[in-house]
Structure formats: structure tokens, C-alpha cells
Structure 1
Amino acid sequence: MDKVGDRRPAVEENRSSEEDVRSQSMVAAVSCPAAATARLTLPGVMDSEGRVDESRLRLYIFKNGGVSPSERGLAWRFLFGMYSCSSTALERSLLQEQLMVRYQVMKRKWQQLIPSAVRMHLNNSDAELVAAVQYFDQRQAQAQQQTLDLSEEVRERLAFLELQAQILFERVTLDEEELQEAVRIIDKDVPRTNRDLFYYQGEISGNLLVLRDILITYAAFHPEVSYAQGMNDLCSRFLEVLDCEVDTFWSFSRYMEKFSKDFRADGLHRKIELEAALLKVLDPELYAHLATDSMENFTFCHRWLLLGFQREFEHSDALRLFEILSCDHLELISQQVERARYQERLAQNISAEDSPESELQAINTDFTFELFICAAILLENREVLLQCQDDAQLIRFTSSLNGRLDLSGTLKKAEQLFYNYCRSCSWDDVNGQCRENKSKEEDFLYQLRCLFLLK
């Protein structure tokens, strides 16, 4: 049986006038005003004027295994770069208006280019989503009315910002043919976004239409990336947490600046190669089994690495893991370890001739923490994996893990793997000795344990 997005869509009447298009984009003006986040704080990492200590934020996220749900929306706006950590609360309120207006202008540009794409073409068999459209339209009408109630001063300021945005984007040329193809794929994928989440159930399933607009706007203004399958699930995570169309667009866009390559074949292939290389170091026997001709590509890890283990853990745990992976705390540690390793060699007066590289392996800083999470899952299920004989069995096994993995246990295992890997690359560990005159605070392995928060 065909899936929802594969059947012939029911044609809906499209509103194509500029005024209607403009009113739809104004939903952002009231759905997530700057004041909504300006009142929030992050204890311990934010000063009295609202500036955030970035290193403390990243450590705070890692040390606490994520942030509380009440802190998550604000923390993500800093973590993913929508807000500069050096900005004050007052500066962010002004930035919010600018980002809101820019998004509206960008969204309106593609809507005017392809009026038929303004409204999603729905399959009438998806009754829940069809009903949600009515709620979505009502919400837009309410937002439009609220914008009319803004003070004259605010409307004048927004009008000036809109003029600036129009000048900024008028030189951007959109590829209509490529964008239409992106819209076609998005309209198939969006209804398939996890509908078990409360955020997409009942009448609020109209949030799927908000997700759609964000994805189309991103594809329109990032033609080098456009849209690829899986982006809907990733962007959905941002929309659920931030609960704001504008903020989701900008946070998702900043995230994709770093990870868009993962949605290209070469980028993901590179990540899978790194996972295989790491497993070869950690467990040569398991690597040799999985690297046979029939399983050499480690493709069963594809979804884990692409979506940050979104479906392998219970939903709230998956959000926490996404925060932990995104804080880059352990990646920073690996760089510190490499520097400490170099200093240790200098202190021992060891030259390159005295210590060939074969004697002391270099730390591969490309081994990010997500790869250790993946390795922890593989090693935890080592015996089962050794019994798998082909890709089909592997895929069935990995599918059986959906929502069943324990985050605390997996994190503990991954951290230990990361620690042991860095430890094995230290000069003290290889030589089995430390300088007798070193204090505890100077000891390399002690510092490494502290960085990992291990006892």
C-alpha cells in the first residue's frame, strides 16, 4: 500500500494574493515574541545583563546530562548559535525583531515565486491533518489581528526592518524548478514526521504545516543543500523545543552550517568510515566480523549518526542526548588531551627519533562523542551482533532497539570508552610511569579524569 505522501494529492485552492501571503508570514510576530525568552535565565552561566559564559554552558549541559525542560528553549538558542553568548538581554530583544522580519521576507519571496506551494496539497485520507489546516488558518488569522494591535512605534520600527530585509534579499535569485522539486519531497516527508509526539497530535498537528514552511524557506535560501530526507525529523526536534517558527528556522540554519555535509553521500560515508575505524581500535574482533564483504559499509549505523539517535532512546532522553552531543564538551577534551600529550613528551625530553609514532598512537580528534555513543551501543550488544550474518539481520536488530536503549548506561559506557581511548594515547600510560616530583594537580591522567568528571 502506498504511504500517505505517495498518493495523488487532493488539490486545494491556493491563496495567491500578496496580502494573504503577507498575513501568513506575520504568524511569527506574535507566536514567539522577544519577551518570551527575555525573562528567562540560565543560573550559573548567565550574568545580570544576560550574557552567557559559553564554556560554562557547555560544561553545565554535559555535567548535568542535559538541561531541564524549562531551561531547554533558552539554552538551545545559545547552544545552536541563534543568540551570541556575548549578547545582552536587551540586544537579543532587538535581534529577535530583526530575525523575525528577515524570516518573513524570505518566506514571502518563495511564496510569491510559487503561489501554488503556499498551501500544502493534502491527501484527504489524512483526516487529522486536513482538520488541522482549519486550526492552522484560525491561528494565522488571530496572529494577523494581533499585529494590527501593535503600537505605532513598533509598527514603524518593523516597517524599517522590513525595508532593510527586502534590500538584503532582493538580490537573491531563487531557482524555481529546484525549489518545486524540494517542495514535492517535503510534502511527502512532513506527514511522515513522528505523529506519536504530542506536539503533532489532534488539532495541533497543524504544527506540521509550520514545519513545512520552515523547511521550504531553508531549501529556498540554501540551494547548495536544499532538502534531503531526514531533515524533517531533525528540524522537528528544534520546532518542538523552541515552539517558534522564526527561532526554529534560525537555530536549524545555524546547526546545518556545521552538519549539512552529513546529508550528502560523501559526508555520511566519511562518518561511517570513522565509526568503523574507531571500532577497529576498541574491538578488533567485532570490527573484523562487521567488516566482512556483506557488512563492510556499516550502513546499519546510518540513521543513528544522521539523526543523533533520535529514535533509539525514549523521546525525552533523545532530546537530552542531542544536547550532550551538541555541547562538544568531549571534543574539546580530546584537543586538550592532545596538547597535554605534547607537553608530556617535552617534559620527558623525548624526541621523534627516540619515540616512533608506532609506539604511541596519535589521538584522532575526528572521533567525536557521537561515534563513541555508537560504539557503546555496538559493544553493549556485541554477542548479538557477532551472530548477525548479513545486512538484513543487522537492520532487523537495529530496528528492534527503537525506544529501548538506556541513556544513562549508554552515556557511562561511552564516556569510559572515550576516557580509555585518550588514556591509551598518553605518554604516562604507554611508559607505565609518572615523574615522581609531579603533584596530583600536575598529573596528566588526574587532569584527564577531572575533565571527564570521573572519580
Structure 2
Amino acid sequence: GVCSSFFFFPAEELRKLSWSGIPRQVRPITWKLLSGYLPANADRRECVLQRKRQEYFGFIQQYYDSRNDEHHQDTYRQIRIDIPRMNPERLVMQPQVTEIFERILFIWAIRHPASGYVQGINDLVTPFFVVYVFEYIEEEVENFDVSSLREESLRNIEADSFWCMSRLLDGIQDNYTFAQPGIQRKVKALEELVSRIDDSVHLHMQQYEVEYLQFAFRWMNNLLMRELPLRCTIRLWDTYQAEPEGFSQFHLYVCASFLVLWRKEILEERDFQGLMILLQNLPTMHWGNEEVSVLLAEAYRLKFAFADAPNHYKR
């Protein structure tokens, strides 16, 4: 039914369908199509996949031994420090998965000297990795032992995750260059947007001297991944990949909707510390697709309302 027919839609149609969430069984291939990693032409897909996977492992052969060289060792050390701090820890702490993440992040950093490795990029591997593991297993991914996968399957998952993460980062690279100017701009745009859509929340923050950078830096740097359960991030990314400039521009409207969603809780907090504790630990643990759908619908409404607004919302 829906699954097998999902890939034969023209690109535009696929985007429309994906916007509202992608069925789990077809998510791996759909994400690869939406990110532009796989060609729309089905006859060319196998050939492209083989070529890209070989290219990635070529980078590993070429660069990975240099991770302990003088000018790369700081990068490699930082990656190794960050990976154990990630969610979902159980999956990432499996030695094979840790190694995969180390390779992906190191190769990405070496090939992007303008930004190099920045904390936050490590989180962006996880959704791709988890979704691409689904291609090879039936059960839930969280408690899955990766070592039971065939070596070739793991290599495919690794290379595909690398390329799709690279595609995502191409669109938001100024978030991770020196001084992270992209994030500074987006946080400023968020502040302006919130001041227009919910003045009382905005003034309340000002009154208690909460700076948007203090909580929203992380929202931009980690694409809300630290604020939501992984299942919600994956659902959110269905839409981000279907929405033109989803990761760079639509994300801003999602953040604004997300903040205003906690309006009641925010207005009840009457000091700086209480507000910061709330904003850094928003209670989303129980969230699922329904909450994400509400958030996205509201973000879409905002985008629509402000799309013709002055230029600073369009960045």
C-alpha cells in the first residue's frame, strides 16, 4: 500500500507527503531522496549509492590515520569527549557505534576546515544513524545491539549517515564557523519574532533579564535535539527535509512556536533562576507525534504570517 508506492511520487509530491510524517518502513529511503543524496531516477540509485559509499571509505583510508597528528589531534580529542555525552547514550555507547561516530565527525571536520568540528555537530549524526539502522532491523533501535548487524550493513549505514549529515550541514554551515555568526543571527531573529507574536512572554523575559542566547543558543546549535526525545526529532526532521530550507529557516519558526507553547509556565516564573531552570529543562519527555504535529502546524502558520514581513525574518 502506502509504503511501496511512496517512492514513485514525483519529488514535489514526495515532499508534500513527507511534510506530515513519513511511515517508519520507508523513512530511510525517503530521507535519502529528500536530502538529495539519492537521485530521483530509480535506475541510477544503486550506482550512486555504491559510488558515494566507496568515496566515503576512500576518505577514511586517506585521512583517518592522521587523527593523532599534531594538527588534528585536538579535533579528534574533542570529538571523543563529546560523543559519550550524547543521547541516546545506550546506543551511542556501544563501542562499534562510538567508532562510527568518531570517524564520521572527524572526516567531516577535516573536509570542512572553515568550520572544523564544533560541539553540536555530533548530535546531528544521531537521527540519520538511527533511521538508517531501521533499514536492516525490525525491532526498536534503542536497545538494539549493533554488533549483530552484518559488517557490510554497518558500513552502508555509516557512509549514508555521513553524506546526509553533510548535506544538512551545507545549508547551515555559518552556524558552525568561527564565532558561530549563523546562530547569533538566528537567536536575534527569534527574539524579534517572539516580541511580535507574544509581547507578554517577551517582556516577561526582559523584566527578569533573561537573554535569549542563554537558552536559545542550544536550540539553534543542536536543532532542538537536546529539548526533545529522539523520536520527536526524527518526526520533526521528516518535515524539515520536506520544507524548503527547513533546517535553516523553518527551524526559526518552530523555535518561536516552541517557546510560546510554554507561555503559561514562563509567566508563572518570577525570577531569573526559575526561568532559566524551566527553559533549560522543558518537560517534553512524554512527547510524541501529536505534540510535534501541533508544534509544526503552529510554526507553519507563523511562517505564513511573517513570510512577507521585513527582511530580517527571511534570513
TM-score normalised by the chain length of structure 1: 0.56
Give the corresponding residue for 1:386.
267
The answer on 1:54 being equivalent to 2:15 is no
C-alpha distance in 1 between matches for 2:124 and 2:302: 31
The answer on 1:91 being equivalent to 2:39 is no
Give the corresponding residue for 1:270.
185
Give the deviation of 1:370 after TM superposition.
Answer: 2.4
The answer on 1:76 being equivalent to 2:37 is no
C-alpha distance in 1 between matches for 2:110 and 2:271: 40
The answer on 1:200 being equivalent to 2:61 is no
Give the deviation of 1:62 after TM superposition.
Answer: 1.3
- CA separation of 1:413/1:253 partners in 2, compared to 1, >3 Å: closer, same or farther? closer
C-alpha distance in 1 between matches for 2:109 and 2:306: 44
1:291 is paired with a residue of what secondary structure? helix
The answer on 1:233 being equivalent to 2:123 is yes
- Report which of the two has the higher share of helix: 2
The one of 161, 185, 194 aligned to 1:279: 194
Matches within 5 A, 1:1-400: 43-47=4-8, 53-63=10-20, 66-85=21-40, 87-88=41-42, 90-114=43-67, 117=68, 177-197=70-90, 199-200=91-92, 204-243=94-133, 244-264=157-177, 265-292=180-207, 294-328=209-243, 368-389=249-270, 391-398=272-279, 399-400=281-282
C-alpha distance in 1 between matches for 2:292 and 2:275: 19
Give the deviation of 1:96 after TM superposition.
Answer: 1.8
Conserved in 2, the CA contact under 8 Å of 1:218 and 1:253? yes
C-alpha distance in 2 between matches for 1:223 and 1:76: 27
Q: How many residues align structurally? A: 281
- CA separation of 1:186/1:292 partners in 2, compared to 1, >3 Å: closer, same or farther? same
* Bigger Cα Rg: 1
C-alpha distance in 2 between matches for 1:284 and 1:396: 21
2:275 is paired with a residue of what secondary structure? helix
- CA separation of 1:291/1:328 partners in 2, compared to 1, >3 Å: closer, same or farther? farther
Amino acid aligned to 1:258: G
Give the deviation of 1:320 after TM superposition.
Answer: 0.4
- CA separation of 1:223/1:375 partners in 2, compared to 1, >3 Å: closer, same or farther? same
The answer on 1:415 being equivalent to 2:300 is no
Conserved in 2, the CA contact under 8 Å of 1:280 and 1:287? yes
Task: Give CA-to-partner distance per residue, 1:335-393, whole Å, 9 cap, x none.
Answer: xxxxxxxxxxxxxxxxxxxxxxxxxxxxxxx9943233222232222132124455543
C-alpha distance in 2 between matches for 1:79 and 1:311: 24
Give the deviation of 1:266 after TM superposition.
Answer: 1.0
C-alpha distance in 1 between matches for 2:210 and 2:98: 36
Task: Give CA-to-partner distance per residue, 1:157-193, whole Å, 9 cap, x none.
Answer: xxxxxxxxxxxxxxxxxxx544222101001111222
- CA separation of 1:411/1:275 partners in 2, compared to 1, >3 Å: closer, same or farther? farther
C-alpha distance in 1 between matches for 2:197 and 2:83: 39
Task: Give CA-to-partner distance per residue, 1:254-294, whole Å, 9 cap, x none.
Answer: 11110222234211111111111111111122212223582
Structure 1: segments with no counterpart, 5+ residues: 1-40, 118-175, 333-365, 427-455
C-alpha distance in 2 between matches for 1:289 and 1:224: 38
- CA separation of 1:101/1:380 partners in 2, compared to 1, >3 Å: closer, same or farther? closer
Q: Which moved more, 1:274-283 or 1:312-321?
A: 312-321
Amino acid aligned to 1:75: T
Structure 2: segments with no counterpart, 5+ residues: 134-156, 309-315
C-alpha distance in 2 between matches for 1:239 and 1:414: 23
Conserved in 1, the CA contact under 8 Å of 2:115 and 2:173? yes
Matches within 5 A, 1:429-440: none
- Supply the RMSD in Å over aligned alpha carbons: 2.9
Amino acid aligned to 1:289: H
